[in-house]
């Protein structure tokens, strides 16, 4: 009597080579996507500073409408804290005269926005009601 051989079956599962190829492809895709993800996160963080400086600008215009001059201290403006709403930036007001001011948003040391080297500080300069944004429109997400 002859021994019967089992019928040929295709192996179940993945081989080690197939698994390595899949992991390599996933690694390459992740390496390509990572800088884009970081850039989008940084833009989102900057939006916190832009919103805080925009609130300050609106409060300054209200102050100017009531008093004829821009406020020289942050405390004189209603609803404008010294920190952005997400807590990522410190807000400061530099009074340069009654008809002008400069406001700055600086990333809090050690915070996630501190790694933003391209736009390390956002600045709003207003003179006679005309605003200039610094350092660039890209930093203001325009």
Residue 108 lies in domain: 17-134
How far apart (Å, rounded) are the C-alpha atoms in residues 116 and 31?
20
Q: How confident is the model at residue 10 (pLDDT cuts 50, 70, 90)?
A: low
Residue 140 placed within a domain: no
Contact by Cβ (8 Å): 103, 57? yes
Contact by Cβ (8 Å): 118, 45? no
Q: How confident is the model at residue 116, as a pLDDT?
A: 87
Residue 10 placed within a domain: no
* Nearest Cα to Cα of residue 91 among 24, 18, 99, 77: 77
Residue 12 placed within a domain: no
The CATH number linked to 27 is 3.30.540
pTM given for the model: 0.75
How many domains does one find in the chain? 1
Averaged pLDDT, 95-119? 89
* Tens digits of residue pLDDT in 46-96: 999 999 999 999 999 999 999 999 999 999 998 899 999 999 999 999 977
Residue 74 placed within a domain: yes
């Amino acid at each position: 009597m002859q021994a019967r051989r089992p019928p040929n079956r295709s192996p179940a599962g993945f081989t080690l080579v197939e698994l390595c190829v899949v992991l390599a492809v996933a690694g390459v895709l992740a390496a390509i996507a990572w800088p884009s993800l970081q850039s989008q996160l940084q833009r989102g963080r900057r939006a916190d500073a832009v919103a805080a400086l925009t609130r300050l600008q609106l409060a300054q215009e209200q102050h100017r409408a009531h008093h004829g001059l821009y406020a020289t201290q942050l405390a004189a403006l209603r609803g404008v804290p010294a920190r952005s709403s997400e807590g990522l930036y410190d807000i400061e007001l530099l009074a340069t005269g009654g008809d002008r001011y400069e406001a700055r948003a600086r990333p809090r040391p050690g915070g996630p926005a501190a790694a933003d080297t391209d736009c390390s500080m956002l600045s709003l300069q207003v003179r006679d009601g005309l605003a200039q944004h610094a350092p660039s429109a890209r930093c203001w997400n325009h």
